[in-house]
Structure 1
Amino acid sequence: MTSPDATPSDAGPSSATPTGTGAAGVADAGAPRDRTWLVAVAAALWGTDGLLRLPLAEDLPSGTVVFWEHLIIVAVLAPFVPRAVRALARCGPRVWLAVLIIGGGSSALATALFTAAFQTGDAITPLVLQKMQPLFAVLAAWVVLGERLRSGYVLFAVPAIAGAWLLAFADPLDIEFGALRAALLAVGAAALWAAGTVLGRLVSTSLPSRDVTTLRFTVGLPVAAIIVTAQGNPYTVSWDNAVGLGLLALIPGLFALSLYYTGLRATPAARATLAELAYPATAVVIGVSFLGATMTVTQWAGLVVVIVAVTALGWHERTAKRRPVVVPPEPASARGRE
């Protein structure tokens, strides 16, 4: 699940410590590798979700799809569950709570809330409010992880968020907001996804990437089952949907999350949440190429802006001496875990 050279050490030095770069700006041998790009690749894989989920959504309730996604992944990861549980038991209550929120909230409940927002109100409101996720993540990263942002961060954050806005709407200046309930559901989903980014970064310093992925879906499975029961949806599916459910669970689900948590171990949450904007960019390309969707000129412009902003952020973090995201030094006890 994780690359052999994966490291839990942080992606940037504290403001009181000089960066490990020479005159040419090349990192010293002991400096951790930046993996913002890997988070972006994982988010791009999430963008293939629509291609697989759309046929299933026509046949199955959303809660049932979410339940089977988790069930298939937990079945695949079953051999790793005992090790992950033992690793979690060695951690403190802070990590236990973080894993519970990641699995139950960010994995299962957030998806259900976001789907319910579309079913409750118009299709615009959830997309507008989902763009608040980076703002929630930056705030949570400051509170939970102690990450600080230098002024240079806005040079990447503002274009990335603006590009995502342009990408979401055919006419970015003509937005109609739906019912309050739909808005609150969408905001709740955005906050939970942001919490997943920040808390995933938190637990990745104490647990290997494979264990974080295993625990996310193992904890999320019973929550998904509760959601199905609460909605009164069936648990059973036909064999006609088996292939689609398997691909959905394993490609944008298990494989993408494995890459994501590997990258997150060396990527501050404030940077990761921008890299995740590769998701709507890929979703648009899939929609236009395979699902018959069309895009306006402003949406194409937004796509270009998102790609450029995310790529530039990763390049800057790899080469610059003064990085825009400042993270606190990592405890020595967290180093060397994998």
Structure 2
Amino acid sequence: MQTINQAVTYRPARIKSGFWLVVLGAALWGVDPLFRKLLLDYLTSSQIVLLEHILLFLFAAPVLWVHRSELRGLKWQHVGALLFLSWGGSALATLLFTEALASGNANAVVLLQKLQPLFAIILARVILRESLPKHFSFLFPIALIGTYLLTFGWNIPFGHVNEFIQIGSLLSLGAAALWGGSTVMGRLMLGKMEYGTVTSLRFILALPLLFVITAFEGSAWHFPSEGGPIAAIVINIIFQAALPGLLSLLLYYKGLSNTKASIATLAELSFPMVGVIINWAVFQEVVTLAQCLGFILIWTTLFMISRQNQTQ
């Protein structure tokens, strides 16, 4: 009886920590543009993503070797999920987002990423048969309003439709769909493998596709002749691969292992909060009242879902 009581006592804390690991992992994605924008001055989108995945391969290969026994008994649905995660969520989505930053309206690119929960929730219901969180129809619009305020403030950006119907916006929308679907596919695979194995396969399986895309693109590799810019490029690639790449996904999949995909996808809305902090700390942009309100709305939603998640 004591053992059962202990399990009941500690189960909520475990679920709560999983939810907040998803929040932290997603928040690390918010630092990605800091590194990616500098690299776009010297390299193409496919070259950046390829170099990033080569570094991630060096981290991932030893992990996969240790856990290679988990590859036994994979079914076709698991192979399909892994290919979606690696080719779609890791390779193509990152390419689309990088290219969107280079060619699209930055506000539109950020806003369209908030459509990720819609894609994830639809797929979670269809593939995983997950039920929606309690009061979801009320909490979800609040979170979206918060992300809108963080992105645009009190402004109404839809006066110029052509700013949204352009290549950058379409690329960003494609990235949102792929990343939203990856949330569901990752949750599916975590019923079969450890989170470290899923993360490793996500990076490793993406490499062949990225080599083909980069070769087909045929762009020359333009590295600066001065030592300073070269060092900056190397440092940016390393940090980009380590923080928003490897560490974020390890935290994310660890938390996702005991968090429903429909709940995890709302936890990913921690990304805009990080964006506001970076804009203030790095680019000296003043945080407006609208952004503060958006921050409060998002984190109120996250807190309510976290509390709700403890009782499941």
Q: TM-score, normalised by structure 1?
A: 0.80
CA distance 1:293–1:223, shift in 2 (3 Å): farther
1:122 to 100, 105, 111: 105
Report the CA distance between 1:235 and its aligned residue.
5.4
What is the CA–CA distance in structure 2 between the aligned matches of 1:51 and 1:120, rounded to whole Å? 16
1:28 to 2, 5, 8: 8
Report the CA distance between 1:150 and its aligned residue.
5.0
Tell me the equivalent position of 1:219. Answer: 205
2:182 to 188, 193, 196: 196
Identity %: 34
Mapped contact 1:165–1:172 kept (Cα < 8 A): no
CA distance 1:55–1:180, shift in 2 (3 Å): closer
Report the CA distance between 1:221 and its aligned residue.
1.9
Tell me the equivalent position of 1:313. Answer: 305
Q: Is residue 269 of structure 2 the alignment partner of residue 277 of structure 1?
A: yes
What is the CA–CA distance in structure 1 between the aligned matches of 2:49 and 2:141, rounded to whole Å? 32
Structure 2 gaps of 5+ residues are 224-229
Report the CA distance between 1:27 and its aligned residue.
7.0
Tell me the equivalent position of 1:302. Answer: 294
What is the CA–CA distance in structure 2 between the aligned matches of 1:220 and 1:268, rounded to whole Å? 25
Q: TM-score, normalised by structure 2?
A: 0.86
Report the CA distance between 1:210 and its aligned residue.
0.8
Backbone CA RMSD of aligned residues: 2.4
Deviates more, 1:41-50 or 1:98-107: 41-50
2:177 counterpart letter in structure 1: A
What is the CA–CA distance in structure 2 between the aligned matches of 1:63 and 1:164, rounded to whole Å? 29
The alignment covers a number of residue pairs equal to 297
Query: Residue deviations 1:125-167, cap 9 Å, x none?
Result: 3233222110111000000100011551233322112111111
Q: Is residue 162 of structure 2 the alignment partner of residue 162 of structure 1?
A: no
What is the CA–CA distance in structure 1 between the aligned matches of 2:95 and 2:113, rounded to whole Å? 14
Structure 1 gaps of 5+ residues are 1-20, 324-338
Tell me the equivalent position of 2:39. Answer: 56
Mapped contact 1:69–1:249 kept (Cα < 8 A): yes
Mapped contact 2:154–2:290 kept (Cα < 8 A): yes
What is the CA–CA distance in structure 1 between the aligned matches of 2:220 and 2:65, rounded to whole Å? 29
Tell me the equivalent position of 1:92. Answer: 75
Report the CA distance between 1:62 and its aligned residue.
2.4
CA distance 1:170–1:229, shift in 2 (3 Å): farther
What is the CA–CA distance in structure 2 between the aligned matches of 1:266 and 1:316, rounded to whole Å? 14
Deviates more, 1:237-246 or 1:200-209: 237-246
Report the CA distance between 1:232 and its aligned residue.
3.0
SS at match of 1:47: helix
Deviates more, 1:110-119 or 1:131-140: 110-119
Tell me the equivalent position of 1:147. Answer: 130
Mapping for residues 167-178 of structure 1, pairs under 5 Å: 167-175=150-158, 176-177=160-161, 178=163
Deviates more, 1:79-88 or 1:213-222: 79-88
Mapped contact 1:68–1:245 kept (Cα < 8 A): yes
What is the CA–CA distance in structure 2 between the aligned matches of 1:278 and 1:306, rounded to whole Å? 8
Mapped contact 1:137–1:194 kept (Cα < 8 A): yes
Query: Residue deviations 1:59-98, cap 9 Å, x none?
Result: 3322222111111111122222334554234221111110
Deviates more, 1:167-176 or 1:235-244: 235-244
1:299 counterpart letter in structure 2: Q
1:262 counterpart letter in structure 2: K
Mapped contact 2:105–2:169 kept (Cα < 8 A): no
Tell me the equivalent position of 2:218. Answer: 232
Mapping for residues 105-116 of structure 1, pairs under 5 Å: 105-116=88-99
Query: Residue deviations 1:293-336, cap 9 Å, x none?
Result: 34432122112211221122112211x4xx5xxxxxxxxxxxxx
1:63 counterpart letter in structure 2: S
1:218 counterpart letter in structure 2: I
SS at match of 2:61: helix
